[in-house]
Amino acid sequence: MESKFGNYYEDFVVGDTIHHALTKTIFESDNNLFSLLTMNHHPVHLNLDYAQQKQHGKILVVGTLVFSVVVGITVGDISGKAIANLEYESVKHLHPVHINDTLYARTTIIDKWETSKNDRGIVYVETIAKNQLNMDVLSFRRKVLISKKQ
């Protein structure tokens, strides 16, 4: 029996919203490692004294870490059977994310269409992430090339 990881093109219904089961609390170690790996050494992400003197008064999680985690949260439901992620668009940081915030995500199927190849189609989705306070913190849209059932 095949494991249920991802959905085929036919499984997506325009207008449906998927509330992803995976969640992630962002720890200081996540933010520090990501900052080092991506060479983002801005003190607002790494220096508590500096961050406390700025607008939000505490460390801000790197925005691209938030984006990467939220994309990861969606993989099992959206792109698990993908051939390719074709495009990301309209990435919006709606509210700051801080150390120890927990991310949740939901994805709405905006549209889908078939391609010239019979074994695949494109699914167009919008994902919105929220924190533990139910505040939207991130949104983005993407187009995913997804296999059809054989």
Q: What is the mean pLDDT of the chain?
A: 95
> What are the Cα distances from residue 150, in Å, to 43, 53, 61, 118?
51, 58, 42, 10
* Segment 14-28 mean pLDDT: 97
Give the CATH class of 9-147.
Answer: alpha beta
User: Tell me: the pLDDT tens digits for 50-84?
Assistant: 999 999 999 999 999 999 999 999 999 999 999 99
pLDDT band at 113 (very low <50, low <70, confident <90, very high): very high
Give the angle subtended at the CA of 142 by the CAs of 93 and 122, to the nearest 5°.
170
Structural Rg of the chain based on CA atoms: 17
User: Residue 29: is its pLDDT beyond 70?
Assistant: yes
**What b/e readout covers 92-125, taking b as 16+ CB neighbours within 10 angstroms?**
ebeebbbbebebbbbbebeebeeeeeeebbbbbb
In whole angstroms, what is the distance from residue 132 CA to residue 98 CA? 11
pLDDT band at 3 (very low <50, low <70, confident <90, very high): low
* Segment 112-120 mean pLDDT: 95
CB atoms within 10 A of CB 73: 22
User: Residue 2: is its pLDDT beyond 60?
Assistant: no
User: Domain extents for the chain?
Assistant: 9-147
* Segment 120-144 mean pLDDT: 98
pLDDT band at 1 (very low <50, low <70, confident <90, very high): very low
3-state secondary structure of 92: strand
Contacts (Cβ under 8 Å, ≥6 apart) of 14? 109, 110, 111, 112
